[in-house]
Amino acid sequence: MVELIDFINQEKVHKKINSKKILNIFNKCIVKSIIELDSKFKSINNKQKSIISGINMIYNVFIILILYSNNIKLTIFLVERSILLYSEFIIMSQDKKMINEICFLPNITDAISFSYKKTIGPLKINGINKSNNNILKELTLLMKHITIKKYSENTFSILELSETNNKLEPLLYELFTIIDSKLYTYIINFIININITNIENIIKSMIYYINNKDIEKFKDCFNSIYYNKIDKDEYILYINQIL
């Protein structure tokens, strides 16, 4: 444990990170991780649950490390380690011979705890400057939620998921750089809870309203959608007219 924290501290860099670049790298990491976990977990029980738990773990490892170290190479290295440790633990935990030998049944929580211990376990969370990179924290969180939602609904193949994320990434970054930070939570809650599948056009329409400085109309429109005051077809037609 001591050796790991020493290694992480040695690799810390003291320079401002580029949030747009980090978001792009996070997007690639999370899609690559799903592909890897999907391939490795083909024969295990609770495959979808194990992959979704893995995505959540990867997000936590990534954001904690990048905010603590500012070192993207270190972050990617330890994220990849976490995926390897997590996937191997899950696979071994379903090996009947191993279970009989150790006399207990490991679960997903055990796998996550083991991966954290070997990657971010020695870090003190209060050592991370939470006031910095607020946009990055919100954007990566939103990208994680969108990815999990689309994956869990089985509405996209993994290839389509990658293509969708690549389209959403620059739009989300543009949106979060032009809005007041007070709207971050509102937008995140809206996007992750809405049933409409055309998220790309939803984000484009949000950008449209913000650029036209019509915040009240912005909220009226999206509150109407959120509380099902207008249906999907009506909304899509409306959005197509303004974009």
Does residue 28 lie in a domain region?
yes
Mean pLDDT of the chain: 81
Does residue 172 lie in a domain region?
no
pTM of the entire structure? 0.83
Does residue 119 lie in a domain region?
yes
Does residue 69 lie in a domain region?
yes
CA distance 137 to 160: 25
| Tens of pLDDT, residues 158-180 | 777 788 888 889 999 999 988 88
Instruction: Record the tokens describing residue 95, joined without a space.
Output: 């090996």
Does residue 45 lie in a domain region?
yes
- Chain-centroid distance of CA 135 in Å reads 13
Does residue 179 lie in a domain region?
no
Does residue 105 lie in a domain region?
yes
The number of distinct structural domains making up the chain is 1
Does residue 226 lie in a domain region?
no
What are the φ/ψ torsions at residue 198 (nearest 5 degrees)?
-85, 65
| Tens of pLDDT, residues 201-219 | 778 888 887 887 766 766 6
State the residue range of the domain holding 35.
Answer: 2-131
Q: What percent of the chain is predicted at pLDDT more than 90?
A: 28
